[in-house]
Amino acid sequence: MIFPIVAYGAQVLRKIAVDIEPGYPGLSQLIEDMWETMYASNGVGLAAPQINKDIRLFVMDSAQIFENIEEEDKGKYPDEPGIKKVFINAHLLELGGEEWPYNEGCLSIPKIREDILRPEKVVLAYMDENFVSHTETFNGLTARIIQHEYDHIEGKLFIDYLKPLKKKLLKGKLSDISKGKVKVDYKMVFLK
């Protein structure tokens, strides 16, 4: 089932999401639906708050990016050819390395893309879909997407990193998105 994507302006995107227990009702179906929703909207990551669930669950597929990368960018990232992974109960342990800019977007904030600085390395504690615990270090574009999705389960959005002036310039666009005055080719839902 494809979920509608929660648009900017909804409170659920600003909540700190909660851990879930093994046996969370319908979890495997939910994960399957999140993959379906993510691919249907051409996303490379999707976090549960974006489908109106305040739980610490996100999925990401950095291989998607590498499949479509420009010839000149091949071999540029240490995580090529990317990974596809489910993250449950993720908690950030460490950020490291140099900050680097990348032009980010978000399914909940359509038609806005901005260069965002993030550290190159992230260390996460998380569980996989079988509730097996992992502590793992990620880098490259994989670390980039993970940090963006991790922010979602912490109630943060990529536009929060923009300088005040830049954010001011986007105010009208953001307000339009929250009111549903935006055209996208995937299903969205506009909540308070």
Q: From the list 60, 90, 106, 188, which residue makes contact with Ni ion (rule: CB under 5 A)?
A: 106
Q: Which is nearer to Ni ion, 30 or 152 (CB)?
A: 152
Q: Any contact of residue 10 with Ni ion (CB under 5 A)?
A: no
- ω into 81 cis (within 30 of 0): yes
Minimum distance between the CB of residue 132 and Ni ion, rounded to whole angstroms? 26
Q: Which is nearer to Ni ion, 94 or 160 (CB)?
A: 160
Rounded to whole angstroms, the Cα distance separating 107 from 111 reads: 9
Shortest CB 3 distance to Ni ion, Å: 14
Q: Which structure tokens are listed for 32?
A: 């399957």
Token readout for 5 is 């994507």
Residues 51/158/74/44 CA torsion (nearest 10 deg): 0
- The window from 64-72, 82-90, 104-112, 160-168 that contacts Ni ion (CB under 5 A) reads 104-112
Binding mask 55-94 for Ni ion (x = CB under 5 A): ----------------------------------------
Per CB under 5 A, does 13 bind Ni ion? no
Please give the Cα distance from 5 to 48 (Å, whole number). 10
* φ/ψ (deg, to 5) at 57: -145, 130
The DSSP letter of residue 80 is: T
Distance in angstroms (rounded) separating the CA atoms of residues 63 and 191 = 31
- Tell whether the torsion through CA atoms of 165, 170, 174 and 176 is positive or negative: positive
Which window, 30-38, 105-113, 114-122, 139-147, contacts Ni ion (CB under 5 A)? 105-113
- Does the annotation count 149 as an active-site position? yes
Catalytic-role residue among 104, 114, 120, 149: 149
Residue 38 or 106: the one with the smaller Cβ distance to Ni ion is: 106
Interface contacts to Ni ion, rule CB under 5 A: 106
Show which residues are catalytic: 149
